Chains A and B, each alone.
Chain A
Amino acid sequence: MGKKEKKNKSQRNEKNKHKFPEPLLKKLEEAGLDTKNLIFCCTGDMDNDACYRNAWLSFDEKGLYVAYGTEKLVKAKHKKHVEPSYTVEEITAIPIDDVDSLETERYVSTGRLIAVKDGEQQSVVRFSVGKLGQFDNLTKAFNSFKEKGEAEIPSSAEPEEKKCKKCGKPCPDGKDFCKKCGKNSAVAIRLFNFFGGYVPHIVAIIAIMLLGSAVTVFIPQVSTRALFDDILANPNGLPAVELIKALGVLVLSIFGIKLLNTLLTVIQQYLTGGIMPKVIYDIRVKIFRAMQRLSVGFYSSKQTGSLMERVISDSNNIYWFFVDGVPSVIIDTATIIGVLALMFIMSWKLSLIVIVALPLLMTALVLGDKFFRRLHHRNWLFGARVSSMVSDNINGQRVIKAFAKENDEFDRFSKASEDLMNSEIKLSVTEATVYPIFEVFILMLSTVVLGAGGVLVAKGEMTAGTLLTYIVYLEMLRGPFDFLSWVSNWWSRCADSAQRVFEICDAEPDIVEKENAVSFENLQGDIEINELEFEYEPARPIIRKLSLKVKAGDMLGIVGKTGAGKTTIANLIARLYDAKEGSVKIDGIDVRDLKLTELRRNIGLVSQDIYLFIGTIADNIRYAKPDATMSEVIAAAKAASAHDFIMKLPDAYETRVGAGGQKLSGGERQRISIARTIIQNPKILILDEATAAMDTETERNIQHSLTKLKAGRTTLAIAHRLSTLRDSDYLAVIDGGKIIEYGTYSELLKQKGEFYKQYKIQSEALKTIGIGTGEAETEEE
Chain B
Amino acid sequence: MSSNTISPETLKTEYVLPEKCVFSLNPNGFLAAEIDGKVYKRVILTRSLPLSLPDEYICISDIEKNEVGIIKTIADFSKEQQELINSELSQRYYCPIISKIESIKEKMGHFYFDVLIGDTKKSFAVKDITKSIRQHGDAIDVTDIDGNRYRITDFESIEAKSRRKLEPYLY
Instruction: Give me the interface of A with B, judged by CB distance under 8 Å.
Output: 50, 52, 107-110, 120-123, 128-131, 169-170, 172, 178-180, 182, 184, 187, 374-375, 377-378, 381-382, 384-385, 419, 492, 495-496, 499-500
Contact = CB atoms under 8 A, between A and B. Distances in A.
Nearest to B164: A374
B163 to A, nearest CB: 13
Which 3 pairs from chain A and chain B are nearest by CB?
Answer: A130-B146, A109-B149, A374-B168
B146 A499 contact: no
B94 A121 contact: no
30 contacts: A50-B94, A52-B96, A52-B120, A107-B94, A108-B95, A109-B95, A109-B148, A120-B27, A121-B28, A121-B30, A128-B146, A130-B146, A131-B146, A169-B125, A172-B125, A178-B112, A179-B108, A179-B109, A179-B110, A179-B125, A187-B108, A374-B168, A378-B171, A381-B130, A381-B169, A385-B171, A419-B171, A492-B106, A492-B108, A500-B109
Given A187-B108, A377-B168, A492-B106, 9 more contacts: A50-B91, A52-B96, A52-B120, A109-B150, A129-B146, A170-B124, A178-B112, A180-B107, A180-B108
B167 interface: yes
A112 to B, nearest CB: 8
A52 B122 contact: yes
B148 A107 contact: no
Contacts of B27: 120
B136 interface: no
A384 B128 CA distance: 13
Contact of B91 (A107, A130, A499): A107
A120 B28 contact: yes
A463 B170 CA distance: 57
A227 B150 CA distance: 68
A681 B51 CA distance: 53
A377 B130 CA distance: 11
B161 interface: no
A381 B129 CA distance: 10
A478 to B, nearest CB: 28
Contacts of A50: 91, 94
B105 interface: yes
Interface in B134-159: 144-150
Given A107-B94, A109-B95, A123-B28, A129 B108 contact: no
B169 A377 contact: yes
Nearest to B149: A109
Contacts of A130: 144, 146-148
A52 B171 CA distance: 31
Contacts of B109: 179, 496, 499-500
Given A169-B123, A381-B171, A180 B29 contact: no
A120 B28 CA distance: 8
Contacts of B15: none
B123 to A, nearest CB: 5
A420 to B, nearest CB: 9
B117 interface: yes
Interface of B: 27-30, 42, 50, 91-96, 105-110, 112, 117, 120, 122-125, 130, 144-150, 167-171
Contacts of B146: 128-131, 170, 172
Contacts of B96: 52, 109
A582 B105 CA distance: 44
B28 A108 contact: no
Residue among A382, A384, A496 facing the most chain B CB atoms (10 A cut-off): A496
Contacts of B168: 374-375, 377-378
Contacts of A131: 146
A108 B145 contact: no
Contact of A109 (B94, B108, B145): B94
A107 B149 CA distance: 11
Contacts of A120: 27-28
B69 to A, nearest CB: 21
Nearest to A184: B108
A377 B30 CA distance: 46
B134 to A, nearest CB: 12
A108 B125 contact: no
A111 B137 CA distance: 26
B145 A179 contact: no
B26 to A, nearest CB: 8
Contact of A378 (B28, B125, B167): B167
> Looking at B108, B109, B122, B124, which has the most chain A CB atoms within 10 Å of its CB?
B108
Nearest to A496: B109
Which of A122, A130, A500 is packed against the most chain B CB atoms within 10 Å? A130
Given A109-B95, A180-B105, A128 B148 contact: yes
A52 B117 contact: yes
Contacts of A121: 28, 30, 42
A697 B28 CA distance: 58
Residue among B93, B105, B109, B169 with max Cβ neighbours from chain A (10 Å): B109
Contacts of A381: 130, 169, 171
Contacts of A184: 108
A51 B76 CA distance: 31
B30 to A, nearest CB: 6
B145 A172 contact: yes
B114 to A, nearest CB: 9
Contact of B108 (A182, A378, A384): A182
A177 to B, nearest CB: 11
A298 B105 CA distance: 27
Contacts of A374: 168
**Most A-side CB within 10 Å, residue of B27, B122, B123:** B123
A52 B105 CA distance: 23
A751 B28 CA distance: 40
A709 to B, nearest CB: 39
B121 to A, nearest CB: 9
A378 B145 CA distance: 21
Nearest to A306: B128
A499 B108 contact: yes
A316 to B, nearest CB: 16
Given A123-B28, A130-B144, A378-B167, A495 B94 contact: no
B24 to A, nearest CB: 15
Contacts of B92: 107-108
A108 B108 contact: no
A180 B109 CA distance: 10
A44 to B, nearest CB: 13
A52 B121 CA distance: 10
Contacts of A375: 168
A110 B94 contact: yes
Nearest to B111: A180
Contacts of A110: 94
Nearest to A371: B168
Contacts of B145: 172
A122 B25 CA distance: 12
Contacts of B144: 130
Contacts of A495: 108
Contacts of A107: 91-94
A170 B123 CA distance: 9
B148 A129 contact: yes
A499 B123 CA distance: 22
B15 to A, nearest CB: 23
A128 B94 CA distance: 10
Nearest to A112: B91
Given A121-B28, A130-B147, A172-B145, A496 B171 contact: no
Contacts of A52: 96, 117, 120, 122
A382 B107 contact: no
A178 B125 contact: yes
A500 B110 CA distance: 11
Nearest to B150: A109
A654 to B, nearest CB: 43
A107 B93 CA distance: 7
B130 A108 contact: no
A120 B29 CA distance: 11
Contacts of A178: 112, 125
B94 to A, nearest CB: 5
